[in-house]
Amino acid sequence: MLFWILVAAMTAAVAALLLYPLLRGAKALDDGREGEVAVYRDQLRELDRDLSGGLITADEADYARAEIGRRLIAVSAAGPAAAPKAARHHRFSEAFILLLLPLTGLCLYVAMGRPGLPSQPLQARLENPGNDMAILVSKAERHLAQNPEDGKGWDVLAPIYFNAMRIDDAEKAYRNAIRLLGPSAIRLDGLAETLMAGSNGAITADARQALEQSLALEPDNPRAKFYVALSMEQAGQTGEARAAFEAIAKESPADAPWLPMVNDHIAKNGGTPDVAAVGKAPGGPTAEDVAAAQTMNAGDQQQMIRGMVESLDAKLKADPNNFEGWVRLVRSYAVLNDKDHAAEALKRGLAAFPADGDQGKQLLALGRELGVAAEGVTE
Range scoring the smallest mean pLDDT among 215-224, 240-249, 286-295, 348-357: 286-295
Question: Which has more confidence, 68 or 206?
Answer: 206
Q: What is the Cα–Cα distance from 346 to 330, expressed in whole angstroms?
A: 6
51: number of Cβ within 10 Å: 17
How much of the chain, in percent, has pLDDT values that exceed 90? 22
pLDDT value of position 283: 45
pLDDT value of position 57: 79
Q: What is the Cα–Cα distance from 148 to 156, expressed in whole angstroms?
A: 13
303: number of Cβ within 10 Å: 11
Contacts of 64 (CB under 8 A, 6+ apart): 47, 56
Contacts of 133 (CB under 8 A, 6+ apart): 160
| Model pTM score | 0.46
Range scoring the smallest mean pLDDT among 1-15, 47-61, 166-180, 327-341: 1-15
Q: What is the Cα–Cα distance from 308 to 283, expressed in whole angstroms?
A: 8
Q: What is the Cα–Cα distance from 324 to 352, expressed in whole angstroms?
A: 12
Terminal CA-CA length for the chain: 44
Alpha helices by DSSP H, listed for 90-150, are 91-95, 101-112, 122-127, 133-146
Instruction: Report DSSP state, residue 275.
Output: G
- Collapsed DSSP state (helix, strand, coil) of residue 156: helix
